[in-house]
Structure formats: structure tokens, C-alpha cells
Amino acid sequence: MSVTLVTGGAGYIGAHVVRALLANGDRVVVVDDLSTGFADRVDVPLVPLDLAGAGASEALASVLEEERVDSVVHLAALKDVGESVADPERYYRVNVLGVVHVLEAMRRAGVRELVFSSSAAVYGNVDSESVDEDAPCRPINPYGRSKLVGEWAIEDATRAWGLRALRLRYFNVAGAGGRHLQDRVAANLIPIVLDRVRRGEPAQVFGADHPTADGTCVRDYVHVEDLADAHVAAVQALRSDSTGDDALNIGTGRGASVREVIDVVGAVTGTTAEARVVDRRVGDPAAMVANPGRAHRLIGWRARRDLREIVRSAGE
């Protein structure tokens, strides 16, 4: 039986990835500092560890060796764009040092397969609405830059000591695979809109003068269960030696504007969902939609769930 270690496995995305790996027949070990994760999401071995802290690489290497880990999925990171603008030092410390310590531990323990949780934020403002992996990476906020630095470190490790890695660039993740696994912090658009609609409050729209069809930002929303399946496919691809160093967009290839999301939330909940336009946020690109073709070609993955299903599962 293959053993996969998941950092950040007690988090919203991580718990879905753990469940998908277990369904695939893996034995799973989770490492999480529980700063944003919840231990009750995890029913596999859980090692509390701050991956950005002193001695983290040595401690993680011991876990890798003791558990006889074959592959690592590195999810543990901070991910709030606005927070990263206000506190960039924290984002570089957690997101970049975390990657460095994971790489050091893997090299020390002789573990050579890594799936890395990256982000479409590495692209920044793109020239076209649909973006593929060959687009220039010009992140416009500290969060995106911290993810890109992590990618660079991983690429260098593949050349230096034979690491085999896939960097998954997530687009906008939402939805849930059941009430127990829902995102418990309303920090992304869909749960925020759902929360406001339930309270009878208008949903905030950050700018209605973007260069898009209706003036609001356009994003590619991918169901968290589809995202979890992408991690399983990536791990399997590394094990089969079919690929070993690439970046893959994880999205649907279909964009939805903020106003469209609000309309879908209203339709799913049977409620009139109102919007209130406020100022743009610093660091928000106008449109970001994945071209996910490379993920289909290299690891055989494509998203199966649509926006309505995402909203319905997030609101259950």
C-alpha cells in the first residue's frame, strides 16, 4: 500500500484530498499546525507541526522516514490575498519557508514525489480571459508572489536532486463533499454570498467597472471534490513515471462573473440575492479563467461539476 503525507490535511481543501486519497487505497498521514485546520476533520494519523518553524525540516524528515512515505502533497499555506497585501512578511515566512522545509525533509528522507498546491494568482493580470500554463507569471500581490517563489524552489530541486513534482495551479475553489467538510470560514466569494443571502444582506461586489461583460470580476470556479480528484490523478501520474516536472491549471475552463454567481446563489436558495457595489480591492485581476487542457493530457483529469452544483453543495 502506498503512503501519502498531506500537509495541511486538516484544512478545508486538505480534508477533501485526504478523503480522495483514502478512497484511492492509499494510507494517509497528515501534518498540520491546526492554525486554520480542524482535527475533527481528520481520522488518519495527525502530526501537529508548524512547517515554517525552527527544526521543521528535521521533524518532518523523521515523520517521512518513520511512516515510510512514498509521496507528499503539500497544501499547508496562507491564502488570503487581502491579508497578504497587509502582512507580506507573514506570507513569505509561512508559504516560502514551508516549501523550503518540505523540500529539505524530502531530500533527507529520500522521498521524491511531490504534488504542490499552487495558485492561479501566480499569473497576475493576464492578456486574455483564458490562461494556459505558458502564460507569463507576473503576480500582483504577495500571496501570488509567495506561491511563485515556492514553484521556483521546487523546479530547482527537480534539477538538483531528482525530485519529481507537479505544481497544481488552483483557480477558485468552492463547494463541499458533505456538511462535515464544508469550509468553516467564509473567506471566498460563494460562501460569503451564501452567508449574506441567509442573513438578508446584500452581497458585496468589489467594483463594477472592470473590463468584463458586466463590469464585475470573472473567475473560474472549481468544485473542491474535482480538485481533490486532481491531486489523486497527479500522485498516480508521478508513481507511473508518466510526468515529473510540470505546472497544471486546475479549473473548469468556464468563467462566471460575480453578478452571475450572485444570481446562481439566488436561484439555488430560492431567495432574491441583491448586490451592493463597493470599491475595487487592491490586487484583484479583472478576469481569470483556466485553460485546463494540459491537466487532461498529462494526468487524465478534468472537472465534472458545474457552478450550480458547487453552490448547492456549499449551501447544504
Which residues are catalytically annotated? Answer: 143
* Angle of CA points 296, 298, 301, to nearest 5°: 35
Distance CA 208, CA 214 (A): 7
AA letter at 89: E
Scored b (16 or more CB within 10 A) or e, 189-210 reads bbbebbebbeeeeebbbbbbeb
From CA 305, how far away is CA 46, in angstroms rounded? 30
DSSP state of 216: S
Nearest to 115, CA basis, from 168, 191, 54: 168
- Over the range 246-278, which residues count as b (16 or more CB within 10 Å of their CB) and which as e? bbbbbbbbbbbbbbbbbebbbebbeeebebebe
Rounded to whole angstroms, the Cα distance separating 166 from 173 reads 18
Q: Which three cell numbers stand for residue 239?
A: 508513481
The Cα–Cα gap between 115 and 161 comes to 16
Residue 218 has which C-alpha cell?
470573472
Number of Cβ within a 10 Å radius of residue 298: 16
Q: Which helix (H) or strand (E) holds 152?
A: helix 142-161
The grid cell for 190 is 460563494
Q: 134 is written with which cell numbers?
A: 505558458
| Whole-number Å distance between alpha carbons of 284 and 289 | 13
CA nearest to 32, candidates 17, 19, 14? 14
